[in-house]
Amino acid sequence: MVYRGPYRVRPEEKDRPSIEHPNDAIVRVTRAAICGSDLHLYHGLMPDTRVGMTFGHEFVGVVDEVGPSVRNLKAGDRVMVPFNIFCGTCYFCARGLYSNCHNVNPNATAVGGIYGYSHTCGGYDGGQAEYVRVPLADVGPSLIPDWMDEDDAVLLTDALATGYFGAQLGDISEGDVVVVFGAGPVGLYAAASAWLMGAGRVIVIDHLDYRLEKAATFAHAETINFTEYDDIVVHMKKITDHLGADVAIDAVGAEADGNLLQHVTAAKLKLQGGSPVALNWAIDSVRKGGTISVMGAYGPMFSAIKFGDAMNKGLTLRMNQCPVKRQWPRLFEHIRNGYLKPSDIVTHRIPLEHIAEGYHIFSAKLDGCIKPLIIPNAA
Amino acid sequence: MAYTPDKPKLPETSDELRARIPGWGADLDPRDRPAVPREQFDPTFSGAHWEFPERQPELWPRERSIEHAFLTPVFGTSCPPKGLSGKIRRYSYARYSEARAAHWLLLLASDRVDAVESTLRSFVSRRPDNPVTETGVLADGPRGERRADKGHHLLDPVIVAAPWVLGAGLAYALIRRLVRQ
């Protein structure tokens, strides 16, 4: 697929990617997914998103070719590829902060490299394609375990790992009340992961009933549709003994609804790096001394965040892009034990040639869409 | 009720939650979670066999943040800058750091210029842009009533259609003027 401008994508023939660095691999994609954060690109919100780019940072496939210095992979290997591109040895990678790699993104120092996520994130084509270039192939990809379903594997490349990471950033203790803003894929996974860390209550907030129903069944969560309340913060206080939740997780990010002014100035007019409605609700509805974990993706511009309330309440704000590969060994265990079944939230399987309809269905929330997978012809 | 030192009582005990929710408490110990501690120094863990990666050949002058000391050894080559949008992008990277709003606003402006340039370019190609197929709106079809957040998307059609309507209007005005001359 290629991006043609805001709200426009189309399938297009491009040259098969080639080895550009000795440690590159070329992977034939067998499953990809559209991520909620791809919608920020699709809606023209992310600076330096160029016409002709191929999106897609969630994908798995089969190694088709390797560069001369690749030691850990060979042609024919089934691999899952984390959305982070990383070198493994810079100051940040050496400390496990793979999402903050300093050696792979010349366009910005504030963010690492991400497949198919604008030139602000390095200018790499993504995996919503038949073939994709995978740089630094000795450190990024892992073999897909024989027992693992390919649909589960593709969801481990970002959404599940990010939701699980988000719950960890909440620093949850046994019996904590955890509120998750957003019942999209990352919010659902964060809610399910909060129980693994011993949460005493998990509450998910959204405005789409069909997604809240999924939060109740998939993540065993209490659910709240914020459109049914005049002031969601007051309601949150009422149901938490007027103290507030111990932990809040923002799994919404840049295009949050719930405040027309914020939404229009950020998501439509691009005058903010993101609409911080969910983040502001998190700040106001968490208890004093509580923790906020930000998993929602925001752009690099400034946003109108209620920072004074965060300061006065003594909050801890924790956030990062997920260093995916660090989460995998434990998540493999949880999937194998049956604690998490990531593919339970997949609602659509879309052939690559119908990519435009796929983006529209996901963006406009048609047909109960929660997580669409993309199936390339070569799969 | 009163505000007291006690933590409010939960609706379910830990034992009840363990019985109801598969895996409850599997990661109960905060010190035994994969992201804890945040920084874990181990430069060999990733499997890298370099201290600094080999340098990827720079086949054209690659734009980069002026906050970087050098062009990173590995980089994407998806869409080299071109046209007027490319000039704006190169200026933005050469002149402003990531700390400056001008950097991002110029990049956003170049994105819009790029979209217009690319659409105009497509009209002289074998595959002109088609706003109907490329927006995927045909997926709405008879299922439009199943759109879950209609209110949110009231503005979307306006934003998508406005440049096309404006462009068509300008083209019509231009042609009419030429015909009259």
Which residue carries 């998190």 as its tokens?
A: A282
Mean pLDDT across A257-282:
85
- Neighbour-count burial of B46, counting CB atoms closer than 10 A to its CB (0-12 exposed, 13-18 middle, 19+ buried): buried
Calculate Rg over the CA atoms of chain A: 20
Close Cβ partners of B4 (under 8 Å, ≥ 6 residues apart)? none
Chain mean position to CA A214: 18
Given CB atoms, is B126 within the 8 Å cutoff of chain A? no
| Alpha helices (H) in A200-268, listed in sequence order | 209-218, 232-238, 260-263
Does B47 score more than 90 pLDDT? Answer: no
The maximal CA–CA distance of chain A, rounded, in angstroms, is 62
**What residues have CB less than 8 Å from A358, skipping those under 6 apart?**
A34, A348, A350, A372, A374, B136
- Is the pTM higher than 0.80? The answer reads yes
At A198-230, the pLDDT tens digits run: 999 999 999 999 999 999 999 999 999 999 999
Q: How many residues in total does chain A contain?
A: 379
| Residue A107 near residue B65, CB atoms below 8 Å | yes
Does B30 contact A171 at a Cβ distance shorter than 8 Å? yes
Q: How many CB pairs under 8 A join A and B?
A: 296
Does the CB of A145 have a partner CB in chain B at under 8 Å? no
Q: pLDDT band for A154, please (50, 70, 90 cuts).
A: very high
Q: Do B159 and A208 touch (CB under 8 A)?
A: no
Residue B130 has pLDDT above 60, yes or no: yes
All residues of chain B having their beta carbon less than 8 Å from the beta carbon of residue A125 are 76, 78
Residue type for B50, please? Answer: W
Give the whole-angstrom CA distance, residue A334 versus residue A330: 6
Phi, psi of A133 (to 5 degrees): -80, 125
Give A86's contacts in chain B (Cβ within 8 Å). 46
The residues, ordered by sequence, that sit 6+ positions from A207 with a Cβ below 8 Å of its Cβ are A225, A226, A227, A257, A258, B149
Confidence of residue A36 (pLDDT cuts 50, 70, 90): very high
Query: Cβ of A285 under 8 Å from any chain B Cβ?
Result: no
Whether residue A163 contacts residue A36, with contact meaning beta carbons closer than 8 Å, is answered with: no
Q: Regarding beta strands A58-66 and A113-114, do their DSSP bridges make them parallel or antiparallel, or are they unpaired?
A: unpaired
Which amino acid is residue B46, in one-letter code?
S
Nearest chain A residue to B69, by CA:
A106
Nearest to A143 by CA among A65, A56, A76: A76
Q: Which amino acid is at A241?
A: D
Q: What number of residues does chain B have?
A: 181
Are B68 and A109 in contact (CB < 8 Å)?
A: yes
Is the minimum CB–CB distance between A362 and chain B shorter than 8 Å? no
Which of A20, A165, A208 is opposite residue B77, by nearest beta carbon? Answer: A20
* Alpha-carbon distance A304 to nearest alpha carbon in chain B (angstroms): 14
Residue A147 banded pLDDT, cuts 50, 70, 90: very high
Is ipTM > 0.85 here?
Answer: yes
Helix (H) or strand (E) run with residue A375 in it: strand A371-375
Residue A319: CB partners within 8 Å, gap ≥ 6? A169, A293, A294, A295
The answer to whether A356 contacts B39, with C-beta atoms less than 8 Å apart, is no
Minimal CA separation from A176 to chain B, in Å? 9
pLDDT of residue B164: 76
Residue that is written with structure tokens 């030192």 in the block: B5
pLDDT at B161: 74
